[in-house]
Structure 1
Amino acid sequence: MATLPTSAHDLAQIQSRRKTRIRLAVLLFSPVLLFTSGVFEPGSWQREALESTGLLMVFVAILGRAWSTLYIGGRKIDHLVTSGPYSVTRNPLYLFSFAAAAGLGAQTGSITIALVLVLVAYAIFWPVVQREEAALHEIHGESFELYLKSVPRFAPRWRSWKDAHQLEIDPSRLRQTVLDGLIMLALVPLIRSIGCLQASIPNLPVLALF
């Protein structure tokens, strides 16, 4: 079996750092949520609409990440996947993760917090995307350059859609993706419960954000 380039080997460490940064971001951002809230009152139609839209985004993100994993399996670097969701965007897993971040942020009732969470997710994933692209370019050369020119990094180009004749599914990777999705879903009631916690603490300073 051929040895992958150093840049590809380094990706394991980059992915590990990404997970550490996500955990750190959650730890740092959790106290912020305690002292902020949305401007819309709980129970108002605006708040309900925002939370429902956010919940829909979380579901779309979970399904989208599972869908992308069916196509990518465990072949993200050593095989250039250009079909299914990877035919319309080069990074569907990260794109759906941005949707999840926005959806979870919307559970606070604040559009501002939702946007901030998307920016935090972007800052975490951006170095990983750069290293993955460098590794793919080193391994696949001209094939990746053509893919780079025809498929956007994030924003989907639906007219580029093409499907695969068959899929090689990695069960362990799919299970992990589903587990990640369940964790995202479990965060929804936790974030919504912050409002109850705020109400139970007398004289707690809370900044209302749009």
Structure 2
Amino acid sequence: MNAYRLKPLRYPWPPVLYGTALLLALVAAQFSPLPVGSGHPWMFRMGGLLLFIAAALLDIWAMKTLFEHQTPFTNTGCARHLVKTGPYRLTRNPIYLGYTLATIGLGLMMGNGWLLLAALMAAIGIRFAVIRCEEQHLLARFGIDYEYYCRRTRRWI
């Protein structure tokens, strides 16, 4: 296969992985609760809410930035431009970071430790099942420019 014709993923895995992790965590909590912290639950709820809002804003900012560069924000579309502005200056995967932080925020708000574990497991799944393929696609598409971007911008945070 010609590396310059390397295609992105054919299926939108990130929502499926995070959705499955979320569902499994909620089911696990019904059978075996895993509480978060002790003391004042309102502090965890407030912290979780703030984290969830920050994650949602990060996702919106990242999607808006991709839209402004006429680049699809689903991982099944072919990248048209190498976006290095907005949240992409800080992290190569702000949308996935937002999904992970939102899941952690939900876990804190609901006092569900399974959601914290689900966030970790989903992030690991995204790293190996999705990001690896996306990085190969972007490297084939943008070459040395993408390599330089990777050297100066972290994958997550």
Alignment RMSD:
2.2
The answer to whether structure 1 residue 50 and structure 2 residue 44 are counterparts is yes
Counterpart code for 1:30: L
Aligned twin of 1:148: 150
Between the aligned partners of 1:148 and 1:90, the Cα distance in structure 2 is 8
Distance in 1 (CA, whole Å) between partners of 2:29 and 2:80 is 40
**Cα distance change on mapping 1:52 and 1:134 into 2, 3 Å:** same
1:81 and 2:106 are equivalent in the alignment: no
Q: Equivalences for 1:170-185 in 2 at 5 Å?
A: none
- Call closer, same or farther: CA 1:130–1:39 in 2, change over 3 Å: closer
Confirm whether residue 22 of structure 1 aligns to residue 24 of structure 2.
Answer: no
TM-score between the two structures when normalised by the length of structure 2? 0.80
Deviation at 1:26, TM superposition (A): 3.2
**1:5 counterpart residue number:** 5
CA separation of 1:150/1:114 partners in 2, compared to 1, >3 Å: closer, same or farther? same
* Corresponding residue of 1:36: 33
- In structure 2, the residue matched to 1:187 is none
Asked if the contact 1:92/1:154 (under 8 Å) is kept, the reply is: yes
Percent sequence identity over aligned pairs: 27
TM-score by length of 1: 0.61
Q: Which has the larger radius of gyration?
A: 1
Hey, what does 2:109 align to over in structure 1? 107
Structure 1 position 115, deviation (Å): 3.1
Contact persistence 1:91–1:153 (CA under 8 A): yes
Partner of 1:159: none
Among 123, 130, 141, which residue is 2:132 paired with? 130
Describe the shift of the 1:92–1:39 C-alpha distance in structure 2 as closer, same or farther (beyond 3 A).
closer
